[in-house]
Amino acid sequence: MAKKKKIPVKDQIWIDTRKQFRLSDAHVQMARELGMNPKKFGKLANHKQEPWKLPLPDFIEELYFKCFKKERPEVVKSVERSVKERNKKREEQKGRKAENKSLKQKSNKIDEIPF
């Protein structure tokens, strides 16, 4: 049975933040691209007590537009999907590295043939 990979802590924080503040995958991706700290979202999200503040999703969209001059990212990926793609890429790199290492060992053995 295949082992299920754990989600790294830095990505798990974003998943928890998405659930806590009811953000979409697009909003989480925009916040990550902006370099926002998910631990500070509580300060930004209290628009009910402080009516001059924008709701958090609107605030993220506004900042993203100011920074990148576009409404949304072209390709929206969930945090889980980006973790899965990153792990897949790592496995491919490990496979290529092992393959290259075995090829080098074979070529070294061929070079060591005594006459």
Give the Cα-Cα-Cα angle 21, 15, 87 (nearest 5 degrees): 160
Asked whether residue 67 falls in the same domain as residue 27, the answer is: yes
Asked whether residue 70 falls in the same domain as residue 102, the answer is: no
As for how many domains the chain has, the answer is: 2
- Among the listed residues 85, 101, 97, 31, the one whose alpha carbon sits nearest the alpha carbon of residue 63: 31
Higher pLDDT, 13 or 114: 13
Asked whether residue 66 falls in the same domain as residue 94, the answer is: no
DSSP code of 38?
G
Exposure string over 101-113, b if 16+ CB within 10 A, otherwise e: eeeeeeeeeeeee
**How high is the pLDDT of residue 111?**
59
**How high is the pLDDT of residue 110?**
62
**How high is the pLDDT of residue 48?**
86
Asked whether residue 41 falls in the same domain as residue 88, the answer is: no
Q: Would 3 be classed as within a structural domain?
A: no
Q: What pTM does this model have? A: 0.79
107 pLDDT band, cuts 50/70/90, is confident
Q: Would 101 be classed as within a structural domain?
A: yes
User: By residue range, what is the domain housing residue 96?
Assistant: 78-110
**pLDDT per residue as tens digits for the range 8-56:** 999 999 999 999 999 999 999 999 999 999 999 999 998 889 999 999 9
Asked whether residue 64 falls in the same domain as residue 13, the answer is: yes
Asked whether residue 60 falls in the same domain as residue 37, the answer is: yes
Asked whether residue 14 falls in the same domain as residue 57, the answer is: yes
Mean pLDDT of 85-110: 86
**pLDDT per residue as tens digits for the range 46-82:** 888 999 999 999 999 999 999 999 999 999 999 999 9
Tokens (6 digits) for 2: 């295949």
Asked whether residue 95 falls in the same domain as residue 56, the answer is: no
Inter-helix orientation angle 56-68/25-34, to 10°: 50
